[in-house]
Amino acid sequence: MEYALEAGEFTVYLQPKYSIATEEIVGAEALVRWIHPEKDIISPGDFVPIFEQNGFIIKPDEFVWERVCSLLRKWIDFGLSPIPVSVNVSRIHLKNNRFIATFDRLIEKYGLDKRLLEIEITETIDNINAENMIKSLKERGYMLLMDDFGSGYSTLNMLKSTPFDIIKIDKEFLNEFMLSDRGKKIISHTISMSKDIGLGLVAEGVETKEQADFLCSCSCNVAQGFYYSRPIDIDAFEKMVFPPMEA
Ligand code: C2E
Ligand code: CA
Ligand code: CA
């Protein structure tokens, strides 16, 4: 792992987030990839859980955060209008508040507006410290996204107690609940309830036009999923978002 990180085998892919109404790209999520010289691309599902067990995850996470900050800085320096990019924070960081200083340092180093670097957190029910850390991030002005809403961990209770700005509707939740009328009603009411308490929404794992149309009819603003685009490398992303200007 250490060697792979040193050797530059970890890289950042970006998956665009789309406005459902206008189909414009309004943001992106950074997702780590391990480009192994012999095994091609290893997806995070295969190594993040292991790195969380042995504690190594801190390093690739920090690598991703720094890569994203330097990219945002590059876009600004090129005179492009940067779009916010979200990064994932492993639950391992939430055991210790050091990661907050890491974010502050990166924002300072790259001279960024905090709203450009969005922070995705999957909160766990059992960690009372996590709640304080999330509050502390919020007080410092960071944009906080509750990841995997509707999955086992992110529950209604979290909405009451922690100051998230945006919730990300979990892809399994969306897929499963879309299958029945009753499920659809639950999604639709979840969306209106979230809006009612002032939260933004991103639907994750949108794979079909039917899902996009349904979400649009529920006034969900933003979607991310294979229907729109898979996660892509940074070069491909830049070509997509900042097409070269006509001469
Ligand atoms: P996540 O944070 O929930 O990220 C969304 C995952 O859903 C990504 O998988 C993305 O490629 C996938 N996805 C997006 N749209 C669709 C769709 O329409 N259909 C389906 N089936 N999948 C879709 P990915 O990149 O393999 O990442 C898996 C998980 O690994 C992430 O889930 C996150 O928990 C973790 N992960 C990824 N990058 C990082 C990272 O930099 N740091 C940490 N700590 N965890 C990461
Ligand atoms: Ca995420
Ligand atoms: Ca998620």
CB of 48 closer than 6 A to ligand 1?
A: yes
pLDDT computed for residue 34 by the predictor: 96
Q: What is the mean pLDDT of the chain?
A: 92
Mean pLDDT for 118-144 is 87
Mean pLDDT for 218-231 is 96
Distance of CA 139 from the midpoint of ligand 3 (Å): 24
Name the CATH superfamily housing domain 2-241.
Answer: EAL domain (3.20.20.450)
246 versus 229: the higher-pLDDT residue is 229
Alpha carbon distance 236, 238 (integer Å): 6
126 versus 42: the higher-pLDDT residue is 42
Whose C-alpha lies nearest to ligand 1, atom 25?
Answer: 31
Distance of CA 41 from the midpoint of ligand 2 (Å): 19
Phi, then psi, of 217 in degrees rounded to 5: -65, -20
Structure tokens, 219: 């006034």
* Own/partner pairs, 78-84, CB within 8 angstroms, 24+ separation: 80/242, 82/116, 83/25, 83/26, 83/27, 83/28, 83/241, 84/27, 84/28, 84/115, 84/116, 84/117, 84/118, 84/143
Instruction: Fill in the amino acid letter for 187.
Output: I
> Buried b vs exposed e over 181-192: b needs ≥16 C-beta within 10 Å?
eeeeeebbebbe
pLDDT tens-digit series, residues 65-88 = 999 999 999 999 999 999 999 999
Which one of 86, 88, 103, 148 would you pick to mutate in the ligand 1 pocket, going by the greatest count of ligand atoms within 8 A of its CB?
Answer: 88
pLDDT computed for residue 159 by the predictor: 77
CB of 207 closer than 6 A to ligand 1?
A: yes
Model confidence band, residue 245 (pLDDT cutoffs 50, 70, 90): low
pLDDT computed for residue 39 by the predictor: 80
Which one of 31, 41, 90, 102 would you pick to mutate in the ligand 1 pocket, going by the greatest count of ligand atoms within 8 A of its CB?
Answer: 31
pLDDT tens-digit series, residues 18-28 = 999 999 999 99
DSSP classification of residue 49: H
Q: Which ligand is nearest to the CA of 17?
A: 1
